[in-house]
Structure 1
């Protein structure tokens, strides 16, 4: 009897045949948990009121970003944010019906969990990792107790990843553009996405996808660009924005003077670019004979795919979330809502390391702990940086192109060895 129970538990936790049974239970359980959180935990006003004030000004005809401001600051998000919150403004009685807004964000959270399950299924992540998804206290808070716009960008990013995994790249680039139109943070995925598109389609198609991205941004922002293009671009896509030291989660162990200095920002940018180049040179193109051969093929025959190895769903998910993690590590400042950028990706990232189970859980737990310390401390910031770096190093020495690539490589080596043995005989 006990062996039979153990057998079924093992099957549910590890057999992909039962993946959607576990996923359905996780989604249902988390939906109930989310409703309980909204029922018993008080809502905290942070940016929702400001979003609605911005929309009030927009509805009165203001299109110059310089003149659109609210209680916590000016409008600093791209046009997609405005269009989404214009609809929310209508549905929630100009933002006054917060309970209705919470229900919308609750539905958004459940959709997010569902999309993550679909991404994990395509990447062949073990069933048991789904049990980790509902455990983040901070993520629930970001969605239903704070109503941050990061949630909308996250949904579009997740849908885009799923589309790219399915090789629906035209759909994926539109969804990715929508994510970028809500919050500029989605740009952290772009380096990994360029690698995927270049390998899968070649130079010309990659350029076409980037043009679609640019055209989508232009169409969404048309009215703002006509009014004052410089104001829109400077506010919505301000890469030099300086954040307040008091809100930083990741660099509390650095003194404020250093944190605000241009030299610190340039150093982080240099680190970001260097690590991305390292992954591009030594990790993301190994199955294609190296980055030099990929570039050579891509420029010699720009109308054809530049890669040789399959760009499978596991590769797509692994490269994109790694690209995102690199950007997060070198971000000039992380605020508490930014945890949504990668919280649900941590089980996948740790699965792409060779670390034992205990260490994987310790990394996820350390990162979750650090994001729940308020206000942040030098210790919590140092712990966050260390855990993020160890996770990235684990991917570097683990499965940076996904576990499917590793299995194919091992299979190919085995076949070569067998051929050599048979030839000797």
Structure 2
């Protein structure tokens, strides 16, 4: 009965850390345990070598978002790809992907880039419905690219090498880029004008945005080459972003920097509270042998890895449309890991599939958050936004099936 009550409270909007805290305290009381046991997970988190990477990457993304990075990225990708058929659509997809990786939150992408990309698409005679759907769906792409906070969080919870996860996300993201761009080429670019390639504009755009473009390259190179640990790379990334926006481009002054740091601290604080409480609650579930009972039930009902992945996808899509991605990661990962291990599914493959599902959940009714953010940003009814996004949702679901049933797409970098 109490479990249903907590689920209902979460669905009606009570802050998740309050729900998790109340659930954990209730569970300790029913098990006649000392509630101080919940604090053990906070101590373990504090000792985690990868923990410090989260606030540093969040700060870097917040600084880049507040600075001029979105405009510089749009200008560069437009100069690079704008001459292609459906060039502006390719620009919109790629810019959304890169900026989502920087910011760590898909909703930020819609709010920050919507005002830039939506008018560009309309100016190029793209259908209004197509432009609205592309920008809304674009906010759900790029969460597998470094230095994505979602990937970091999964790595901490699942205790999987974060460098392997970042490398694993490159090919799936490239595949999604081609699939969405291909749909734009076939469907959205009818009547859209073609532009001439201008080397001078590309050179000017590259000169303005080269430092932003080097950031993801440096993150991938540092991790894949083993030159830096995740924590060291996060520190370098935060310092790089601060120097870039305050001293080189001078887009952020001291007063704005204080506000940016405050916003990043609020996000990080909420994440740490949710993470610590959810892991404490997970320990209680393990003590009560809930994962073992779940494993026994799955073993009785599910006979193959493919069947398990199918049911897991359906469950994760439901979770993704009702819960933010960070909360979902820390709650579902400890439950799914032992099941995936039983069926021989690699934890890196599992992580990519979990994150892909939760990405799609942003666009899934009834409470897909990107639908509401786009509705607010573009002053359109939520139903109209969903209808515009539906073709892109179908493309994302096909992409999810490829990632799920072709493990090599995720495991290509592991040898």
TM-score (norm 2): 0.28
Q: Which has the larger radius of gyration?
A: 1
Higher relative contact order structure (alpha carbons within 8 Å, sequence separation ≥ 6): 2
Q: Please, what TM-score do these two structures have when normalized by structure 1?
A: 0.28
